[in-house]
Each structure stands twice: as structure tokens, then as C-alpha cells.
Amino acid sequence: MGEAVMRWAAWGAVIGVALFATIGGLTALCAWVIQNLPTWGRVLFFGGLAGAVIGLLARTSLEGGM
């Protein structure tokens, strides 16, 4: 029992760090894009980001959930 709990805790820590790093990286990238790219560059970047999110949601809903 104790081994399983430790394994889940380790996986939770790894996933948490990866998630925060990803969110932090995306936030920094978005801030850089907003400050440094012209309007058309921002539109392309955020349009692509939105397209990726919509595509991922559509795929998971077509597959019947996660």
C-alpha cells in the first residue's frame, strides 16, 4: 500500500511540474508575442493556438472522451 501511494505521489509531482512549466512557457510566449509581433503576427499566433485547442477538443469528443 505504501509503495503504491509513493508511486502515485511521484507521478503527481512529475505531472504537476510539467503542467506548470508548460503553462508558464505558454504564458511567457504569449506575452512576448503580444509585445513584439505586429497585429497580423498576433492574429496568426493566437489563431493557430485556438485552432490547436479546438482540434484537440474535437478529437477527444469524437473519440468519446479522454
Per-residue pLDDT band at 1 (split at 50, 70, 90): low
Gap between the Cα atoms of 66 and 57, Å rounded: 9
- The string of pLDDT tens digits covering residues 8-39 is 888 888 888 888 888 888 888 888 888 888 88
Per-residue pLDDT band at 65 (split at 50, 70, 90): low
CA Rg value for the chain: 17
**Each residue of 6-32: b (16+ CB within 10 Å) or e?**
eeeeeeeeeeeeeeeeeeeeeeeeeee
What percent of the chain lies above the pLDDT cut of 90? 0
pTM equals: 0.49
